[in-house]
Amino acid sequence: MEKVIIFCAPSGSGKTTIVKHLLKTENRLAFSISACTRAKRAGEENGKDYYFMSQAEFKQHVAAGDFLEYEEVYGGVFYGTLKSEITRIWQNGKVVIFDVDVVGGLNLKKYFGDKALGVFVKPPSVAALEHRLRYRSTENEETLKMRVNKAVQELAYEDKFEKVILNEHLEVALEQAEDLVATFINNHK
């Protein structure tokens, strides 16, 4: 069952909320923990939410060829998917679920080909996205502006994914995500 499901979206679209819901409701999934160089947010744990690394550690993994994909998302902040993470999940007989930004998602879709389902989570508007980012209180004005500008660019990529979920009403988006995942796991060989 070597399959992967890739949830992509601009920051603040709700992809992490959807992925966490799917992990609670679908026992055939396992979360691919990304590596990153950003600081931990309150409540995050190393090895559960991310593999937190220094830039030097991250670059050592890059040099060793340990990543399926990686990118510098913001100035000096790197995110990536370790090959060992996918192997671990598949060895446990699970379907990998990713929560990544749009560029990472496109790279993963290219790498996995027909083993992958790419799902783009879309906010109802850029204004709604900005409101969500403000509400979660993890950004200062400078990083908020940077994330909103990046989101505007990322929204242009929705047609590169097999499925799009409009996250205007969370309950509806969660239901749609459950249906997409179940169909992909049950029908895709």
Domain that holds residue 174: 4-187
**What percentage of the chain exceeds 70 in pLDDT?**
96
Q: What length does the chain have? A: 189
DSSP 8-state code for residue 34: P
CATH number at residue 126: 3.40.50.300
Joined together, the tokens standing for residue 53 give: 């690394």
Q: Read off the pLDDT of each residue in 38-44 and give the average, rounded to a whole number.
A: 90
Residues facing residue 117 across a β-bridge: 5
pLDDT at residue 185 in the model:
95
What is the domain count for the chain? 1
Q: 6, exposed or middle or buried, with CB in 10 Å at 0-12, 13-18, 19+?
A: buried
Helices (H), the chain: 15-25, 55-63, 83-91, 102-112, 126-135, 141-154, 170-187
Q: Read off the pLDDT of each residue in 96-118 and give the average, rounded to a whole number.
A: 92
Position 63 pLDDT exceeds 70: yes
Position 138 pLDDT exceeds 80: no
Torsion angle, CA of 130/13/40/112, rounded to 10 degrees?
-140
